[in-house]
Amino acid sequence: MKGFVVVWLAILTPALGFAQNTHLASAAPSSDTNVASKKPLELKERRILPLFGEISKTSEQIDEEIKFLSECDKSFSSRTEASSFFATRAWEYLQEGSLDTACYRFNLAQLLNDKNVEAYWGLGVVSYQRENWVDAKKMLSRGINLQGDNVPLLVDLSTVNLKLYAITSRKEELDEAGELLKHAMALDSTYALGQYNLALVHYNLNELDKSWEHLHKGRTLDLSQMNFEFVELLKAKMPDPQGFFK
């Protein structure tokens, strides 16, 4: 089970970031052009964009992909197996902080099997760690389209929506986070991060009783994910009804 390793208070305000913060931008340019230089993207630049930038493939890229797929067909029993192999390696690179290498490996995993949820999930995490919030939402959403009952993935997507809400104040982002979490908690109410994210949703809606309710549910499930800075913010608006936090 993959997904984000987060300090969830970090999505409360634009001033905070959960491993990073600040701007809302997409990693991939809108066309086959480097914005700064106005030159076509080199193949090595495409490799480290989610889904190779989703731009028209060059003959060089097509030739490379044909060769890669042919080699995988010789080395693995199926492309599904090969895709799982490259996704696993990608997660390892991600854990090491090698985002470009991880992104390329996730791209290869998706090339081998466009139904591999791990590939989109990983690309979403890479995008988030690059502070590319729009790409993060796009990639995770594609994963959800394939596996709509994956609770950790649903909660990760809610995290991105909460980050976008913190930056843009768009109510639809907060509403979408709430719907994702409602679905996730209906599937598994014991997933602690989902409860903590719900506490944050209700905090932003100024529904403080509900915020405390979900905070305590998260606390009883996994205290290690508790963020005490958020507890102080919540206490400042409303004392803990259970009296646990003085």
Token digits of residue 96: 């090491």
Instruction: Please report the pLDDT score of residue 44 as a whole number.
Output: 84
CB count within 10 Å of CB 40 equals 15
Give yes or no for a contact between 106 and 87, defined as CB atoms under 8 angstroms apart: yes
Instruction: Please report the pLDDT score of residue 148 as a whole number.
Output: 97
Let me know if the fold of 9-20+39-147 is the same as that of 150-246.
Answer: yes
Instruction: Please report the pLDDT score of residue 43 as a whole number.
Output: 81
Instruction: Please report the pLDDT score of residue 2 as a whole number.
Output: 54
Mean pLDDT, the chain cut into blocks of 10 residues (246 residues total): 43 32 30 47 88 91 95 97 97 94 97 97 95 95 97 95 94 97 98 95 96 97 91 95 94
Give yes or no for a contact between 109 and 77, defined as CB atoms under 8 angstroms apart: no
Instruction: Please report the pLDDT score of residue 39 as a whole number.
Output: 63
CB count within 10 Å of CB 33 equals 13
Task: Write down the domain spans for the chain.
Answer: 9-20+39-147, 150-246
Q: What DSSP character marks residue 41? A: P
Residue 191's region, left for phi above 0, alpha for psi from -120 to 50, else beta, is: beta
pTM of the predicted structure, to 2 decimals = 0.84
Cα end-to-end distance, the chain, whole Å: 36
Give yes or no for a contact between 50 and 122, defined as CB atoms under 8 angstroms apart: no
Question: What is the CATH number assigned to the segment(s) 9-20+39-147?
Answer: 1.25.40.10
CATH 1.25.40.10 fits 150-246, yes or no: yes
CB count within 10 Å of CB 165 equals 23
Token digits of residue 203: 């905090």
- Distance from C-alpha of 224 to C-alpha of 241, rounded to nearest angstrom: 21
Token digits of residue 22: 């600040």
Sequence-distant (≥ 6) Cβ neighbours of residue 126 within 8 angstroms: 50, 94, 99, 102, 103, 106
- Distance from C-alpha of 48 to C-alpha of 135, rounded to nearest angstrom: 13
